[in-house]
A and B are shown apart, each in its own frame.
Chain A
C-alpha cells in the first residue's frame, strides 16, 4: 500500500527525521494560506500522486487534454506564482513516466518551505529478499533515477544489511555516512536521522522508504526533501491507522471490490477474461492464452477456499469489463472442489446472463462431479481437458489469434 508524500513526511516528522515545514492543500486558497503561514520566500508546490517522475511530468486539462504546464512539482518565488502553479495543478491530470498515458488526476497538493541545498543524496530502506534482512541503500547521486545509477555507476551505491538479531548498529550508520563523504555535523546529523528512520521502518511495517533526494543543507543538516513510503499490506491488522492514509482514488474500483471479496484481481488490456484458483496457475493461464495468440483481460485468483458466492462475484467482475469477448475458467481443485466451481459458474451465468463464449477446464478434486454438473446444464459451455486445449479453444472462439 502506497501513501502520499505529505503523509509520509508527517510520519517521518513524528519519528524524529528532519523534514521541511509544509502544508497539505486541496484548493488554491489553501495553497495561498499555506504560503502566508510558512513565511518562506521560496516554496515548492508539489502534486501529490502515487507515482514517481512528478517533477519531469506534464499537466493536462482533463477534458480538452490540452497541455497546461510542464512539471508537476514547481518552485515558486512569489505569492502570485503559488497561485498560478496551484491552479495549474489541482483538478488537472499529471502524466509522468510512471503513470502511463492516461495520467492521474491531482486532488492533493503539498506546499513546502525551501532550503539552501549543499548536496543531494539518495537513501532507501527495503527488504532484501535474497539476504532476508532489511537493506539500507545510499548514494551520493541524489535526485537521479537510482536504476540508472545502479546500472551505470554501481560503485556509487553503498549498501548495509541489518542483522535482525543485532538491529542497526552504530558502526553501520557511521560507515554509510562516511561512504557518502559526510563529516563533522553532517555525519552526526545523518547518524541520528538514519537510526530514527530505521526504527520507523520497523514500527510502521514498511515495505519501502525511499528518500530521493535526501539533502545536506548549507548549515550541515541532513533533511528528507522527498518521501516515498509503502507499507506491507500483510501487517495491516496491527495498523488500524493505515485506513485513514489510504487514498482510494489511487486504486482501481474493481480491484478494491475484488479485495473486499477475498479475490485477487489485476486488470489488464486484453479481451479474454480468466478465472483461476491459485496465483501461480492464474499467471500461467494468462501466459498460455498469450502463447496461443490471445490477450488476457485480467489476472484473477479466486483462492483456495472460495465459495459459490465468491465465484459469482469473480464472474461479475470479469463480465463488467467491456473489453471481455470470452472467458476461460481454469481450475485445478485441491482444497477447492470442482463441483463448487461448477455450481458457482452456473449460478453466476444464470443471474448475470452470458453473451460471450465460455471455456471451462476442470481438474483435481471432484472433477467428475463438476463436469457432470456443467454437462447437465443447458448453458453453452465448452469443456477442455487441459490448459493448452482451453486456451486454444477460447482464442479460436473469439476469432482471435494470429
Chain B
C-alpha cells in the first residue's frame, strides 16, 4: 500500500508531445511508471514513447482505463486541462488522480479549476506548481512528476511538502538514516491548489505502509497551522517538520506565487510554533531532518 498512487498505476500524460511533456514522460518511463498513453488535442493517432496519443481525455481514459494523469500543459491552457481531466475521470470511471506540474497558472483559473474538482468527490488534484507524487517500488515504482527518481527508495516514511527541491532534500535526509519512503507528495507553492496538507496527513495516517511523516512548509497562508492543529487531534504517527522562509522579508514574493508574508501573517515563526504546539518535532536546519526523524522513530519504538 501507498497513498493515492499504487506502484503499478496506469498513467496518462497531458501535453505529451510538448518539449517538457515528452522529456519528463521519458524519465517517468525510465523510472518504471506504467505510462499507458498521452493526450494532445489535434495529435491523436500518433505514438510517443511507445504509447498512443489521444485527442481528448475522455477518449484516452476509455481506451486505457487510466488511474491518473500528469499535466505538463503551458500555463494559459493548464486550468482547462485540469477541468477536462476531472470531467473525463468522473464521466468514464468515476474516479482519478490529476497531477498538475505547470507553474504560472493564473490564480483565478485555479479558483475555477479547484472548485470544479472539489465538486467531483472521487477526483483528486495534486498541485499545480509542484514536483508531483512518487510511490517508490521494490524495483522502479510510480513517478508522476519531475522529481529525480534515483534518490528514492521504497520504505515507511511519508513526505509532504510545498516545495520541490526541498522535498528532494527531505528524501535525501530519510535515506541518510537508512529509511525509504511510502509516498512523497509535492502539494505545490501556489496560493490556490488542490490537495492540501491535511488530506495528505489523513491518508498517511490511514496507510499501513507509512509509519512516520515528514511535513515541509513555507511562508504564506495558514495551511501549515491548520494542518498542525488537525494532526494534534488526529495523527498517531510521529511527524517531523520544517518551514522555509524564516529570513524572508515581509511583502516580498519568494519565488513561489504563494510564498509571501502579507499583513504580518504567514511567517515561518508562526508556523514553527504551531508545529511545536502540536507535538511535531521540528528541524531548524533541513540538514538535520534525518537526525530529528531518527530521534522521533526511536521515541516511538520504531528503531
Contact = CB atoms under 8 A, between A and B. Distances in A.
A61 B168 CA distance: 51
9 tightest Cβ-Cβ pairs between the two chains A and B: A280-B163, A279-B255, A278-B165, A280-B166, A235-B106, A388-B287, A283-B244, A281-B165, A283-B245
A152 to B, nearest CB: 14
A234 B257 contact: yes
B107 A279 contact: no
A283 B166 CA distance: 9
22 contacts: A129-B258, A132-B111, A132-B192, A147-B264, A164-B111, A234-B107, A234-B257, A264-B255, A278-B165, A280-B163, A280-B189, A283-B218, A283-B245, A284-B166, A287-B245, A287-B246, A287-B247, A287-B285, A332-B165, A334-B147, A363-B168, A364-B168
A296 B252 CA distance: 15
Contact of B222 (A130, A296, A386): A130
B115 A286 contact: no
B294 interface: no
A365 B151 CA distance: 9
Contacts of A287: 244-247, 268, 284-285
B76 A238 contact: yes
A342 interface: no
A332 B255 contact: no
Nearest to A126: B262
Given A127-B191, A202-B108, A235-B106, A284 B242 contact: yes
Interface in B104-150: 104-112, 114-115, 118-119, 131, 146-148, 150
What bracket does the count of chain A residues touching chain B fall in?
Answer: 35 or more
A163 B249 contact: no
Most chain B CB within a 10 A radius of its CB, from A147, A264, A287: A287
Given A129-B258, A387-B285, 13 more contacts: A127-B107, A133-B111, A147-B264, A234-B104, A264-B254, A266-B252, A266-B253, A278-B164, A280-B165, A281-B169, A281-B244, A287-B285, A290-B246
Contacts of B288: 388
Interface in B55-97: 75-76
Contact of A232 (B106, B166, B167, B169): B106
Contact of A268 (B189, B242, B249, B264): B249
Interface string B24-63: 1000000000000000000000000000000000000000
A205 interface: yes
Interface in A204-223: 205, 207
A291 interface: yes
B286 interface: yes
B248 A299 contact: yes
A202 B221 CA distance: 21
Interface of B: 24, 75-76, 104-112, 114-115, 118-119, 131, 146-148, 150-151, 161-169, 172, 189, 191-192, 216, 218-223, 226, 242, 244-249, 252-259, 263-264, 268, 284-288
Interface string A373-388: 0000000000000111
Contacts of B255: 264, 278-280, 282-283, 299, 301
B187 to A, nearest CB: 11
A288 B163 contact: no
Contacts of B169: 281, 284, 332, 363, 387
B263 A283 contact: no
Contact of B244 (A277, A280, A332): A280
A372 interface: no
A144 interface: no
B131 A334 contact: yes
Nearest to A208: B262
Contacts of A291: 284-285
A354 to B, nearest CB: 25
A94 interface: no
A151 to B, nearest CB: 10
A166 to B, nearest CB: 10
A59 interface: no
Contacts of A284: 166, 169, 242, 244, 286
B254 A147 contact: no
Contacts of A133: 111, 115
A281 B163 contact: yes
Given A127-B191, A279-B256, A287-B244, A365 B148 contact: yes
Nearest to B263: A147
